Amino acid sequence: MPSLLRADAFLSPLEIDAAVTRALDEDLGRAGDITSIATVPEDTQGRAVLAARKSGVIAGLPLAEAAFRQLSPDIAITAHLRDGMAVQAGAKLMTISGDARAILGAERVALNYVGHLSGIATATAEFAGRIAHTKARVVCTRKTTPGLRALEKYAVRCGGGFNHRFGLDDAILIKDNHVAVAGGIKPVLTRAAQTAGHLVKIEIEVDSLDQLQEVLDARIADVVMIDNFDLDSMRKAVAMVAGRLVIEASGGITLDSAAAIAETGVDYLSSGALTHSVQNLDVGLDIEM
């Protein structure tokens, strides 16, 4: 079967297997699915359809596939779509045929992943659509569910967004507390430049135009994050930078404010809400014996 992953998104197959194993272990516990064992005769065959009950953008189908296959390697799966595709309510996503106990045992894990990740992809697609007329891109943050970061960042890509760093080891991002501890903009940037490898980008957060000027004078940073700037200050920041740095806008950005912020000329809009405040997409699995 062709890959169900979005082709230009990043998700290791090892991460899929590990995430599904954790979720199945959590759900099946020590004794397995005692309800299905008690009520469904061994070797009973079944057929089920995984479908969207609301319109949205799909993500998480590879995890659903892995969940069913972990409980029954011989199960037959027909994918009708792949991650990153927009669907209408009622669209069939996947048909699963084989051991009925395995289908029932993996059902909730499959639905949890597809519903949650599709919710993120759907929200991201709406956000990206609001700023599509500008050069800006929307990126997620590290405000993710513990243990699910790689999956949630993958879902952002499925929705047409982009990823900020995956962790503290990806890039240097100097926040206000780092500046306070280090003693100022110039000292903190100087120390970062002395330590960073040649492939490591340096980003610094500023909360005023005066701090931005200090960053520009230092000539060290690659990216500047303008945090909680109003629109007029954002436009002034873009003019001051004049293309010398990448500009990321952050701080309480919403769907309603996204377009106006993107129109100021910033390069990126970062939003933690893409991963921490979305509603699951309603998906369901129905048995067709």
175 has catalytic annotation: yes
17 has catalytic annotation: no
191 has catalytic annotation: no
153 has catalytic annotation: no
Active-site entry in 22, 175, 219, 244? 175
143 has catalytic annotation: yes
Active-site entry in 83, 107, 152, 205? 205
Question: Which residues neighbour 156 within 8 Å (Cβ) at sequence distance 6 or greater?
Answer: 120, 121, 124, 139, 140, 162, 163, 274, 275
Active-site entry in 47, 54, 92, 108? 108
Active-site entry in 47, 143, 165, 201? 143
Active-site entry in 33, 227, 248, 267? 227
Q: Which residues are catalytic?
A: 108, 143, 175, 205, 227
